[in-house]
Amino acid sequence: MRRRFAGLALALSVVLPVVSTAGLSPAIAQPGSEPAAAQGIPDGPAKAWLLADLDTGQVLASRDPYGTYAPASTIKVLLATVVLDHLRPDSFARANASHTEVECSCVGLKPGQAYTTRQLLEGLLMVSGNDAANMLADMLGGQPTALAAMNRKAALVGARSTKASSPSGLDGPGWESVTTPHDLAVILRAALKYPLIAHIMGQPSAQFPGKTITNQNELLTRYPGDLAGKTGYTNLARKTYLGAAQRGNRRLVVVQMYGTGDLYGQATRLLDWGFNQQR
């Protein structure tokens, strides 16, 4: 059974099997209707997750794929697409104190130092720099302008349940960002069409002014064929993970939200399960 989203070329189609019918439309699954092939799908420890073919958009398995949760730093992938829609990679600006006055994780911006867009994107996507997110938002015209652009972009690519309230994904009064596993998969699918984003998310390290930064996505070294990944954590979101991997000519995307424990382990098991399924 398939479900497509009219008018949204980048949205994902949904196909059985699913692990749980909680929160799903009756048009997709009814209790007790899961096929035998659904058994053995690696569930937990994320409360909501999705595994899909990155290129066709076919969802192979999911739990609560349309449930809304706080995204934490996975929303930075959306910010990166907006940045490259409006700024050249070699454009630059100077950091100021307002960029660094933020709860970290941070890449370590220094007020007065000049940074290129590309360097800030590396700090954003590889080490989840909240200071880099603040500076990029300013380069886009300020946080209100950046957030409006992020929300327009989300709607444009088919992530219609996504609302960005901070460029970094931090929680706080007035910062109640929300998205869904489905939407994060759609966002990563769109983001990896940008060659620079794909390159940055797939590189193990990069030179940053004054130091070398290392990609925080552990699956780059732990999972053969890993293409990209973005971790996140806040008190509201719990652990989140968004990633993609390739085996042969097939590419899969995995999303995990509101998790505890070892999300990398679950992501690995889901990807292995997905690559073992016939098309």
Active-site amino acid positions: 73, 76, 128
Three-class SS state of 62 = strand
Q: Across the strands, what pairs with 256?
A: 49, 241
Phi first, then psi, for residue 122 (nearest 5°) are: -65, -45
Q: Where are the extended beta strands (E) located within the chain?
A: 2-3, 13-15, 48-53, 58-63, 92-94, 114-116, 205-208, 211-214, 226-234, 238-247, 250-259
Q: Is the dihedral of CA 86, 13, 274, 178 positive or negative?
A: positive
User: Where does 114-262 have alpha helices with state H?
Assistant: 117-126, 130-139, 143-157, 181-191, 195-202, 219-222
Q: Where do we find the tokens 């060659």? A: 195
Q: Please give the Cα distance from 150 to 269 (Å, whole number).
A: 32
Instruction: Report whether 53 contacts 60 (CB < 8 A).
Output: yes
* Residue of 104, 222, 110 whose CA lies nearest to 119: 110
